[in-house]
Amino acid sequence: MDLKLKDKVIIVTGGSKGIGNGISKVLANEGAIPVIIGRTESDVLDAVEGIKNIGGKAFHAIAELTNKEACKLAVESVIKKFGRIDGLVNNAGVNDGVGLESGNYDDFMISIQRNVAHYYAMAHYVLPELKKSKGAIVNIGSKTSVTGQGGTSGYAASNGARNALTREWALELLPYRIRVNAVIVAECDTPQYSKWLKTFPNPEERLAEITKNIPLENRMTTTTEIANTVVFLLSEVSSHTTGQLLFVDGGYTHLDRSL
């Protein structure tokens, strides 16, 4: 199926590792030009080089996404380079463990900046270009906490906000034919997830406890499986899909885990 993404310019925040990198690679495979935005220059450049090594096109911008001015400058650099933006994937974020009992107000607000404020900033700054291209936005969300890990007030609030903003923006941007959807991730095999597993005395046993409760094939979701859904939503092939929260999780969220 031709997703009609050839030479489309798509910004992917946090696109150098994990889910974001998976999305960038699938976009490149479809002929699009992923623009990887992140704060660690070496990681971003490595990701761009990896895409070019397999025959794809890619661009990048270095930005600390919690800084709204850095978000603006990153978007401006893309416009200067290509003269257009066809899509945005808001992906960057981290479960920073800011809880109610263990946290404080200042840390909570920092968590909001890390995990949802830049979703708004990036969407705001790319909007004039998306109006021209009738592009699409995909927000990456997550279930509110990592399995067995409490104390995630900041992350939970951010994910709730991501879902609400997805539907609000979908409504607001209807007159411009800009589609806005979210892909919700549960148990996905990413570097962050592996790092969390290593905090347990027996990581492999802990992983087995988790995967046995994932109904479809009792395994983790791959970054490519997330990416395939994201790229479909960015494409014209999903031209009448907007305001949706799509769960790519092997049935983990909605099916009976005793299956």
Catalytic residues: 155
Q: How many residues does the chain have?
A: 259
Strand order in the sheet with 59-62: 59-62, 33-38, 9-13, 87-90, 136-142, 179-185, 245-247
| Residue tagged 């906490």 (tokens) | 145
CA dist., res. 161 & res. 3, Å (int):
29
- Name, in order, each residue with C-beta under 8 angstroms of 119's C-beta and a sequence gap of 6 or more: 90, 139, 161, 162, 165
Q: Are 187 and 213 a contacting pair, CB within 8 Å?
A: no
Dist. CA 59–CA 8, nearest whole Å: 12
Helix 118-133 and helix 68-82, axial crossing angle in degrees, nearest 10: 20
Question: Comparing C-alpha atoms, which of 37, 158, 65 is closest to residue 107?
Answer: 158
Partners of residue 13 on adjacent β-strands: 37
**CA-CA-CA-CA torsion sign (213, 252, 160, 142):** positive
CB of 163 closer than 8 Å to CB of 141: yes
CA 155 vs. chain centroid, Å, equals 14
